[in-house]
Chain A
Amino acid sequence: MEKRVTFNERWLPYLLLGPQIIITLVFFFWPSGQAIYQSVLIEDVFGGNSKFVWFENFAQLFRDNSYAHSAQITVVFSFLVAAIGLGISLLLAVMADRIIRGATAYKTFLIWPYAVAPAVAGVLWGFLFNPSVGIIAWMLQGIGIEFNYVINGNQALLLVVIAAVWNQISYNFLFFLAGLQSIPKSLIEAAAIDGAGPGRRFWDIIFPLLSPVGFFLLVVNIIYAFFGTFGVVDSLTKGGPGKSTEILVFKVFNDGFRGQDLGGSSAQSVILMVVVIALTVVQFRFIERRVHY
């Protein structure tokens, strides 16, 4: 879509675009270029010299067990975050959509976790499950479950999933609710007149009509789990115990800053960039389709 009426100015548009373009070049293109450049170099341990090694860094990554392990954890983690998060928020949205009285109050109470920083969310859940003073850990102990995320890897991963889901639930809820409210009431009424009960109406009408929103949210949640959960992991577990919660985006940071392995970290950055670009393309293709409908 283009404007029919435009202004004729020679320099003004460049001036207007200037700030955004300069920031984009300096803080996006330059570092990304450097990441790509460094991903094909190996730096001397003593600094100074670096050697061009083609794809050696990548090859090394793919041979590296800890990278495969991290990738595997990331996949499990994103699957759990997306599945649990979407499940709970869909349930809440369907129920909230039925409620006429008090609906806005409920909505207010469900949307605010979005405003809590992931890093703070991590601290909050860490407190609840803290092995010595955590109230939930204490309750679990009461029913015979020893919960100690500081030493148990699986429990640590579970806790990171819970905190991440909690943080993202309002977002999913709002989109599901908007999706539900855009379904024409006449369809539901027609089905009701034909004798379909609430359950039948949900599975045969509402659920299929909601699937575009669901798919969109799935992609958004995977992107979130991949890249938006750094704060949760860093303030809860720092990737530990062992490496049981070291998701890919945490590993990039860890190898680059703590391990000082610039080549390896850059290669990881490049791989993650490819993943984000692929996910974003999927998201956009899908949105374009929705617009055309």
Chain B
Amino acid sequence: MVENRPFLTLLSHLVVLIGVIIIAFPVWMTFVASTHSQQTMLQSPIPVLPGPHLIENYTKVLTEGYGRIGNTPVLMTLTNSMIMALGVALGKIAISITSAFAIVYFRFPGRMYFFWAIFVTLMLPVEVRIVPTYGVVASLGMLDSYYGLIIPLIASATATFLFRQFFLSVPDELTEAARVDGASPMRFFWDILLPMSRTSIAALFVIQFIYGWNQYLWPLLITTKESYYTVVMTVSRQANVVDGVPSWNLLMAMAMLAMLPPVLVVVFMQRQFVRGLVETEK
């Protein structure tokens, strides 16, 4: 800062520290709850420090599940979430990068119509048109399948725009050189454009992985078979069992497992995450 004010610096540290603590508090309590026995978690006040049942609880939810509405082992729901998140992220990147390539590097009739058709999708979140979209997916026979979980979510205007912006900034000389050397468009795409887009792809991947992992309403609607349940929807379902007291220790172990993968992605790919967040909003 421009001047030395020890008191203000101290205050800044203090405020940010308190912020960090308040923000981390729910997750700390979740972690603590996941390490105690069911009995301990039933009497208020509950402990604020971890207990001895960590391994036991996590092994139980991972392999057996926590059965109130059926026994869905969390390992299975985690796998489903992983398939869905990877499918959504990679699918979005794949179809967006090729459409951006078509829009930027070719002149063809109807180009602008296609561009606007993609643009409009930006304006229609799944939640808004949920009932008719469900109808469409049902009539295509895509309920209870990975296709149904993934494909309706992979159209992406933001990703297409991001790649379009990036391609427009690629120097024309590269294209000319490729053409002089006799490279076909697809050769140019694979050997020059794709390697150059690495950082954009990584940034988008982080954002879209989180988006796919955290989907809730969509998997809730289109899956009825337990073998397709995702972890996020299972956590919420189990928390809302009407009759009886939930086993908080197991429920919270499940919640921890549901949070872990996307949080790790954000923490370890922080730079790409920040980049992706800022760029997808341009």
* Residues of A in contact with B (beta carbons under 8 Å apart): 1, 3-10, 12-14, 16-17, 19-21, 23-32, 34-35, 38, 88, 91-92, 95-96, 98-100, 102, 106-128, 132-135, 138, 166, 169, 171, 174-175, 178, 185, 188-189, 192, 198, 216, 220, 227-228, 230-231, 234-235, 238, 249, 252-253, 256-257, 262, 265-266, 269, 272-273, 276-277, 280, 287
Bound-state CA distance A134–B43 (Å) is 10
Chain A residues, Cβ within 8 Å of B267: 108, 112
Most buried by B among A5, A117, A121, A125: A117
B45 at the interface (CB under 8 A from A): yes
Contact B185 A7 (CB under 8 A): yes
- Say which size band chain B's interface belongs to: 35 or more
CB pair A112 B2 closer than 8 Å: no
Residues of B within 8 A of A5 (CB): 172, 175-176, 179
Other CB < 8 Å A-B pairs besides A20-B160, A127-B239, 12 of them?
A13-B102, A23-B151, A27-B136, A110-B19, A117-B259, A123-B235, A133-B46, A135-B45, A231-B232, A256-B130, A262-B131, A272-B128
Complex interface: stretch among B6-14, B55-63, B69-77, B197-205: B6-14
Given known pairs A95-B12, A174-B278, the reply for A16 and B98 (CB within 8 Å) is yes
A3 to B101, CA, bound (A): 11
| Interface: B263 (CB within 8 A) | yes
CB pair A252 B281 closer than 8 Å: no
Contact (Cβ within 8 A) B127 A253 = yes
B236's partner among A16, A113, A122 (CB-CB below 8 A) is A122
A-B pairs, 4 with minimum CB distance: A117-B214, A31-B132, A235-B236, A256-B131
- At the interface, is chain A mostly helix, strand, loop or mixed? helix
Q: How far, in Å, is B255 (CB) from chain A's closest CB? A: 6
Complex Cα–Cα for A102 and B14 (A): 13
B48 in the interface (beta carbon within 8 A):
yes
Q: Which residues between 120 and 177 of chain B lie within 8 Å of chain A, taking CB atoms?
A: 120-125, 127-137, 140, 151-152, 154-155, 160, 167-168, 172, 175-176
Q: Is the CB of B273 within 8 A of A4?
A: no
Query: Which residue from chain A places its CB closest to the CB of B20 in the assembled complex?
Result: A109
Partner of A127, one of B11, B30, B221, B278: B30
Q: In the complex, what distance in Å separates the CA atom of A132 from the CA atom of B186?
A: 62
Report how far A173 CA is from B108 CA in the complex, Å.
43
CB nearest to A126 among chain B residues? B239
CB distance from B238 to the nearest CB of A (A): 9
A27-B133, A135-B45, A277-B123 in contact; A120/B210 too (CB < 8 A)? Answer: no
In the complex, what residues of A have CB within 8 A of residue B8's CB?
98, 198
Tell me if B213 counts as interface (CB < 8 A to partner A).
yes
Q: How far is the CA of A114 from the CA of B278 in the complex (A)?
A: 13
How far apart are the CA atoms of A257 and B41 in the complex, in Å? 35
A120–B81 CA distance with the chains assembled, in angstroms? 14
A13: B residues at CB distance < 8 A: 102-103, 106, 108, 111
